[in-house]
């Protein structure tokens, strides 16, 4: 999208968002549905328009657009995050903002204009007792915006959910590889390389990018959540997560949170495959993030 097709906020603008925000990103299929459910139960408003995976459809509508992102300026990205917050909180859009939102809906391949308009007018920011003004969202593609988030939100905590790379290599969810592989020098149409190898390489390169940028830009407000460890040691890992969020759940809520965490049926699916297709470098990186490899 060329500059001028939608209104922008000047790149040197000092305007920023002031409310606490929790953002969750990952490679699709990493278990983020459960994480979003946990956050919602902890009193964090995660949006009104969610799909079965608890993805925030407003984020999908505004940001899951590789062609737009490829040429978008910082000001255009910031403008969409402004719309995202304003719509999420049920604030009325001015005429210019409404027109620009409709333009986004028209080019979306994921959500119809009618659904987009319903999203605009249905969101109502719900404040939870004791968690005034805390809100957030979960949408795997959020990870592609890790560099932009700290510039948009002054009180941001980011959670990167990572699931075993070899299990993800054999996931049927290849949308991010198809949509964003170009950002990491990868092509889903490369017929010379096995698809599972490409998927693992995307997992590696995208996580390297997010972890490096997250730690550098966010410091202690960046959290790397190992989904497999959460399922294996729910109480231990959940304690670490709520400590990161600064929330102390009641004993009654604690048990309900634990009950939400279950091992996925697709865990360890990689054991059914020949791992010789992967390079030692790829396997070593999987292990470096705390995942064991059992043949």
Per-residue pLDDT at 132: 47
Per-residue pLDDT at 184: 96
- In whole angstroms, give the CA distance from residue 276 to residue 165: 15
- In whole angstroms, give the CA distance from residue 209 to residue 31: 20
Total-model pTM? 0.90
Q: Show the tokens assigned to 207.
A: 């996580």
Per-residue pLDDT at 10: 34
User: Residue 291 CB: number of other CB atoms within 10 A?
Assistant: 19
The β-bridge partners of 189 are none
Q: 223-262 in b/e burial notation, b at 16+ Cβ within 10 A?
A: bbbbbbebbeebeebbeebbebbebebeeeeeeebeeebe
Residue-wise pLDDT tens for the chain (295 aa)? 333 344 443 333 333 334 589 999 999 999 999 999 999 999 898 988 899 999 999 999 999 999 999 999 999 999 999 999 988 888 888 999 988 988 888 888 777 778 877 877 776 666 555 444 789 999 999 999 999 999 999 899 999 999 999 999 999 999 999 999 999 999 866 665 789 999 999 999 999 999 999 999 999 999 999 999 999 999 999 999 999 999 899 999 999 999 999 998 999 999 999 999 999 999 999 999 999 998 7
Would you say 160 and 224 are in contact if contact means Cβ atoms under 8 Å apart? yes
Per-residue pLDDT at 77: 96
The set of residues, in sequence order, having a beta carbon less than 8 Å from that of 243 and lying 6+ positions away, is none
Residue linked to tokens 């400590």 = 243
Question: What domains appear along the chain, each with residue ranges and CATH number?
Answer: 21-249+262-288 (3.40.50)
Q: Where do runs of H (alpha helix) occur along the chain?
A: 32-41, 57-63, 66-71, 74-88, 95-107, 113-122, 149-152, 165-169, 175-180, 195-218, 227-232, 234-245, 251-260, 280-288
Q: Show the tokens assigned to 82.
A: 């402004």
- In whole angstroms, give the CA distance from residue 50 to residue 126: 15
- In whole angstroms, give the CA distance from residue 197 to residue 83: 37
Residue linked to tokens 């990186």 = 285
């Amino acid at each position: 999208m060329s500059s001028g097709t939608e209104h922008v906020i000047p790149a040197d603008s000092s305007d920023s968002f002031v409310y606490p925000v929790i953002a969750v990103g990952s490679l699709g299929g990493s278990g983020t549905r459960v994480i979003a459910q946990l956050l919602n139960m902890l009193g964090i408003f995660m949006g009104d328009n969610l799909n079965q995976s608890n993805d925030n459809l407003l984020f999908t509508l505004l940001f899951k657009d590789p062609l737009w992102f490829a040429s978008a300026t910082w000001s255009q990205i910031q403008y969409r995050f402004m719309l995202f917050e304003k719509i999420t909180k049920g604030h009325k859009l001015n005429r210019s903002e409404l027109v620009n939102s409709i333009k986004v809906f028209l080019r979306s391949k994921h959500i119809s204009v009618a659904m987009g308009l319903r999203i605009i007018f249905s969101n109502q920011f719900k404040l939870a007792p004791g968690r005034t003004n805390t809100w957030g969202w979960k949408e795997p593609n959020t990870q592609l915006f890790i560099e932009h988030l700290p510039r948009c939100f002054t009180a941001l905590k980011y959670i990167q959910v990572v699931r075993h790379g070899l299990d993800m290599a054999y996931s049927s969810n290849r949308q991010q590889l198809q949509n964003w592989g170009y950002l990491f020098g990868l092509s889903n149409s490369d017929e010379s390389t096995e698809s599972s190898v490409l998927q693992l390489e995307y997992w590696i390169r995208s996580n390297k990018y997010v972890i490096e940028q997250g730690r550098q830009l966010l410091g202690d407000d960046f959290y790397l959540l190992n989904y497999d460890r959460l399922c294996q040691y729910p109480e231990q890992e959940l304690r670490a997560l709520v400590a990161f969020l600064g929330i102390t759940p009641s004993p009654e809520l604690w048990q309900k949170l634990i009950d939400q965490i279950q091992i996925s049926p697709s865990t360890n699916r990689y054991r059914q495959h020949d791992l010789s297709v992967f390079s030692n470098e790829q396997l070593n990186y999987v292990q470096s993030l705390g995942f064991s490899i059992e043949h």
